Structure 1
Amino acid sequence: MSFPWAKHYEPKNPVMQWVDSRLPLPRFVYNAVGAGYPVPRNLNYWWNFGVLAGVALVCQLITGIVLAMHFHSSAASAFDSVNVGIMRDVNAGWFLRFAHANGASMFFVVIYIHMFRGLYYGSYKAPREMVWLLGVVIFLLLMATAFMGYVLPWGQMSFWGAQVITGFFSAIPVVGDWIRIWLLGGYAPDDAALNRFFSLHYLLPFVIAGAVILHIWALHIPGSSNPTGVEVKGEQDTVPFHPYYTAKDGLGVVVFLILFSVLIFFAPDYLGHPDNYIPANPLSTPAHIVPEWYFWPFYAILRAFTADFILPAKLWGVLAMFGSILLLFFLPWLDKSPVRSGSYRPMYKVAFWVLVADVLVLGYCGGSPAEPLYVILSQIAAAYYFAHFLIIVPIISHLETPKPLPGSITEAVLAKTGA
């Protein structure tokens, strides 16, 4: 979208004029996050989480690069290099290790909130389909990176997590065993698997960074969405990104870093699993194998299939787990409602909050033992998850009578303030 009222970059300093004429990087930054990028004037704090995701990615990149300098990708020494070498012998190694491990959790917290905000406010609808699709790609890359990173400390949960998760690929007919052997570099997790996962875990964050650049680029073409879902109609509907939203995002970053620091300094192992402080032992299976908390909803869907029906139950679980994510790619075309924001869609708003509760139930079941009660709850919650996107949302988009939309963003802002 073109904003004819946007300010254009005109460097005053001779050095900046010379740089900008040959490499327009200052102009690019100004138009991306400065006064040259107008944004809707009614964005609330739910729009802070895109910037917070960028901050979390930078933290992961910096700490990950330093940790990689001291990590030994060998089954014989990986555990000691993390828990002895890095934690005790490297200057501030304990801080780097805890910042990286807990940074992954904070990253997923931010990403999940960012995605659910997009679901509620219809940020996946035209003309922002590509923004949403790139966001789902980033989410898939993030999940792959996190899984490989969880294997690297080579504790009991790391080893058996790799054994179990890669084992599900063997359920794929004909090529399943070949895919698993290719992933592990052998028939069980060992040196080859560690080297593969370490190299990919180091590489994929830079791929994520590239996808984030494309994500932001795609966002700047139609412009940011907003809580009303009404498109910008003129200069009166926008304000410059700087200083208005740089200040607002700055506050969000400060709160994020405070919470992050509390987690690192006061509860660094709260989100981890105690079994991962036991060296990997292929001859001793943990009583309850469980992935990191941010995989629990998908792990619950994976375990929800317990009976063979045409295909083996394990294959149904693998298909459902990947399908639960791939389904998000089709959401812009499943929801045909012309109204974007859930604030003006009464039926959709109820369905959205039921979905949030459903995902929380899936997460709880995924982190619980595979006992009958939790399996049944997983099956019900998994069925509703797919029904929400494939049945409920399309039906609501046809039957729902939305509330009247404001004539413009400015009208909605003035009505809210009572002016």
Structure 2
Amino acid sequence: MAAGLVISAPASGVGKTTLTLALARAWCDSGLTVQCLKSGPDYIDPAFHAAATGRTSVNVDSWAMDRETIARLIGRGADADIVVAEGSMGLFDGVAARGVTGTGATADIAEMMGWPVLLVIDPSGQAQTAAAIAAGLRDFRAGVRLAGVVLNRVASPRHEDLVRRAMMDAGIAVFGALPRHAEITLPKRHLGLVQAEEQAEVSGLIAEAARFVSEHIDLDAVLRSAGAWSSSTPARELKVSPPGQRIALARDAAFSFVYPHMLEAWRVAGAEISPFSPLADEGPDASADVCWLPGGYPELHAGRIAANARFRSALRAFARTRPVHGECGGYMALGTALTDADGARHEMVGLLGLETSFARRRMHLGYRLAELAAPIPGHKAGARLRGHEFHYSTIIAQPDTPLAVVRDATGAVVAETGSRRDNTSGTFFHLIAEDR
């Protein structure tokens, strides 16, 4: 029987990912089998989890997924000694309107699984007030149980003592306190952490984090606080339609935002995935029957994409006879042009009329429910797709036929409808699950 633990915090930027990676690696080093998960629509953190544990991590999402899907994904940890689910944002942060099984909050997963929550508390600029925050989170929602806290970035032994005493008075266990340690800080950029595959030193960073945490946290006490569970739902295949039998998938530093559970579901359904690199000036596999360009950071590589004539001409030739679909950054690359942060305009593939600008930055963030007006690879017209949108680019022009009616989590229609032309389609949201 495995144990389960949710790692969360009052807010983003407190140190959830670093603590998750450090605990996971430290437990792995001690001989335990650790399965990580990510609560919410984050396509970067699972790669770090995999680097820490050697096991593929997947996303679980209470707004987009039904209980059966979540249970199946969590069931992959049935053979592990402990399953660690890293939360997103603050513990109770979600959307205003309930989705399939919840609001997308980390607390939904904790309550659904009956797993206790380990809170990461950063008491910078405060002392006893940190205990009031932890107590408020503990008592906010019936059904969500607090295991205890880890203090992060404590300023001094005196500071730590003040916070520990206040936590003790509130009846909250403190498993350890971490002083500031710059050597384990993970680099960030505008959409979150710099991707694991872009950091040659990532394994060393995780190893140092594990060593540091082992010195300051009672790992055995944290492990004992986890909740025992057994998977009642076998880890069967997910019901996700692959976009084709042989999928040419753009995969490099510019196109890497794809949820692991989607790739896994495509393979389980019998599809073959043939990766190629637009940044290396490669075109899609000529034997593929569909091409898929995921999101990523095309705005950081727009000059190279524009200069890679072989990639652009090969993709245009592919699109004459077979479907091509892009998500967010992939959608932008399929358009006419992309203006980078410095104001330079770069020619893109030109399969769609979309023109975007990263120089006019405005954050677009949130869940999306789309009803397709036309088919896309793997999904028929009329299908309702649940996904998530997160980018800073502004639409300059989107002249092609709208692909879908797209609404946010409150039901309001958004302007990012996606578009289609001939065999090419694209959306600004990343697909998580089909609405059933």
**Would you say same fold, with TM above 0.5?**
no
Determine which structure has more spread, i.e. the larger CA radius of gyration. Answer: 1
Query: What range describes the TM-score normalised by the shorter chain of this pair?
Result: under 0.3
TM-score by length of 1: 0.22
- Of Structure 1 and Structure 2, the greater helix share is in 1
The structure with higher relative contact order (CA 8 Å, sep 6+) is 1
TM-score by length of 2: 0.21
